[in-house]
Homo-oligomer: A and B are copies of this chain.
Amino acid sequence: MRVGVIGLGRMGANIARRLMRGGHDIVGFDHDAATTAALAAEGATAAQSIDALVATMTPPRVFWVMLPAGQPTENTIQALISLSGSGDIIIDGGNSFYKDDIRRAKLCASNNLHYVDVGTSGGVPGLERGYCMMIGGDESTISHLEPVFETLAPGLGALNRTSGRNGPNNRVESGYIHAGPAGAGHFVKMVHNGIEYGLMQAYAEGFDILKGRASEKLPPEERYPIDVADVAEVWRRGSVISSWLLDICASALIDDPHLEKYSGSVSDSGEGQWTIDAAMEEAVPAHVLSAALFARYRSRRETTYSDKLLSAMRFGFGGHTETPQ
């Protein structure tokens, strides 16, 4: 299938590559001309603009937009809507907010276009491992795109089949899901990222406790200078907490057990925040997912006004002055 890929950054370029490897025909555009040229050297057709990309293709066209959520994605989709012809399909493969999908899908429908939102997980290794895709939109459009999803998805691979699953394999066992109508794909991806933050924070706190066990403030016999790289490795082997994130910890820690190359300033994309919003809309308690998000906020600040006000109160009632710990 011919697919126009717009946005050839880390994720977009790999999506394009995996599609080409699977025999699809890619027209690529990135606002950085060198990036576009680089993909062309690997076999894609280069487009110098969105207009040119649309003009190069014939209806019904398939566009895969892979840009940062917010203005970059919004502007591109608006441009595509104005340039597209009846029956064209616009896929937002980025990390858009699901309520934006709902709005855009309506707009597309009123222009006889099809809108599909795809949450894409798998990171950089996805090029080789395949991508887990969570998809929202109309079934007929998604069926039409099935060859694209089949190529991008990991497929059955070597994983054991889930006990309790019988009958022929279906999409979800290949690694993609039609989660529901417009926005449902990004909604499921959003919760996926919310969970991801929680999982990461659970490991991070655990390793912090292991590392802290060498502290000289502890009684000598209760001090353990634990080899955290070895612990991460052993936990990969038959333990209840084995996971792909743990594999990544094991690799990071064997390289640099003190993690000295990191300052510990941790970004968050919007999904963590939107997950908490969704939880609050549903009145679902989300203690762990929110705590994981707040830990990231805190990691990016040297101190907080909050901390200082605690110090000020302690001085106010107890005459306590701050002392180094």
Contact = CB atoms under 8 A, between A and B. Distances in A.
Contacts of A248: 312-313, 316-317
Contacts of A123: 240, 317-319
Question: Chain A contact residues: over half helix, strand or loop, or mixed?
Answer: helix
A322 B209 contact: no
Q: Which 4 A-B pairs have the closest CB atoms?
A: A198-B202, A243-B243, A264-B307, A175-B237
Contacts of A324: 265
Nearest to A121: B239
A172 B218 contact: no
Given A183-B222, A241-B199, A251 B164 contact: yes
B286 A205 contact: yes
Interface residues on A, range: 35 or more
Given A202-B292, A245-B243, A279-B205, A307 B313 contact: no
B289 A231 contact: no
A138 interface: no
Contacts of A307: 204, 262, 264-266, 295, 299
B311 A306 contact: no
Given A241-B245, A243-B244, A264-B322, 10 more contacts: A99-B222, A208-B284, A243-B246, A263-B322, A276-B280, A277-B277, A287-B287, A296-B310, A299-B304, A299-B307
B305 A259 contact: yes
